[in-house]
Amino acid sequence: MAQTSVARFALCVAGWYWITTIFFKAMPLHPQRHPPADNWFRACAVLACLLPVLATGCASAGYRRPTAACLDDYAQPASTDIAQQTRERALRHPAYRFIPFQRTQMHCYDPRYLTWYFFGNDSDGIFGEGMASEHPYSTHINCLTWFRWDIMRNFGHNMLYYPPLGSACLDTHWNWSLFRADAAGVKALRRDPIGVFGVGRRAFKINLNDLKPFLSLKLGNFETYAGWRERGNLGASFRWHREKEPVGVTH
């Protein structure tokens, strides 16, 4: 089985090289004849044409561990029948042939590490089927659900969770405050044990969290932040909190 997978992958790479060679011989990219914009267009066209070849070869190569065997690898175990059934249906979807669910499924030579890194979600799945233990993001497992969950709502989950861009997967984190001004005073160049915002109703901080920049500002009910938070996950927020009415006040 392993020899067959290697042979299929080698055939895929050979086909990629052959098609690329023919394309560039037929349409040479000489800067004297074509402006740089045309060269970039042709290069993108080559990648777009060859991507299905690569994807087909990868899918035929198979996984070291079947996707269906990853049913218990979600961040939260399913606690209802609808959650369990949706996860089972999602793992049978053909999309998981091109975007692996777990990194441990792949052989060391599998190029799908790229699709796993940029488009994968090894916590909740690419359809959000493992979003919560009680219910999935949607019971409709299709391309639209994938686009809404994996692209619009959680784009780059694995990319921003694992190094080099992310560090949320680490057990310990390094949080260093370059400058912080809040109710506790003005401080600089020291460890920051506080979370996203400083102490009090007015606070400002600039941090390096796991050597990545982070900035937050709080002015009364207004809060905003951008960058890598104290747990290593990238995020941004811009929100306004409404005043809470005192208990017992009636209109």
SS3 labels along 63-91 = CCCCHHHHCCCCCCCCCCHHHHHHHHHHH
Q: How confident is the model at residue 2 (pLDDT cuts 50, 70, 90)?
A: very low
* pLDDT given for residue 240 in this prediction: 86
Residue 146: predicted pLDDT = 95
Signed CA dihedral, 25, 26, 28, 29: sign only: negative
pLDDT in tens, 85-121: 999 999 999 999 999 999 999 988 888 999 999 999 9
pLDDT of residue 170: 81
Of the pLDDT bands very low, low, confident and very high (cuts 50, 70, 90), residue 228 is confident
Sketch the domain layout of the chain as residue ranges: 2-61, 67-161, 175-240
Convert 88-125 into a string of H (helix), E (strand) and C (coil).
HHHHCCHHHHCCCCCHHHCCCCCCCHHHHHHHCCCCCC
| Measured distance CA(2)–CA(140) in Å, rounded | 35
Task: Answer with the residue of higher pLDDT: 50 or 216.
Answer: 216
Give pLDDT, residue 246.
55
Task: State yes or no: pLDDT of 131 exceeds 50.
Answer: yes
pLDDT of residue 97: 92
Which of 58-62, 131-135, 160-164 shows the lowest per-residue confidence on average (mean pLDDT)? 58-62
Strands, DSSP E only, in the chain? 175-182, 185-191, 202-209, 212-219, 222-228, 234-240
Q: Give kind and range of the element (H or E) at residue 143.
A: helix 143-146
Report the pLDDT averaged over residues 35-55. 57
For the residues 152-180, what does the mean pLDDT come to? 86
Answer yes or no: are the C-beta atoms of 182 and 202 closer than 8 Å.
Answer: yes
* Confidence at 164, pLDDT banded by 50, 70, 90: confident
Q: CA 74 from chain center: how many Å? A: 15
Q: What is the pLDDT of the chain when averaged over all its residues?
A: 80
pLDDT of residue 22: 53
Residue 233 binned pLDDT confidence (cut-offs 50, 70, 90):
confident
Looking at the predicted structure, is the pLDDT value of residue 207 above 70? yes
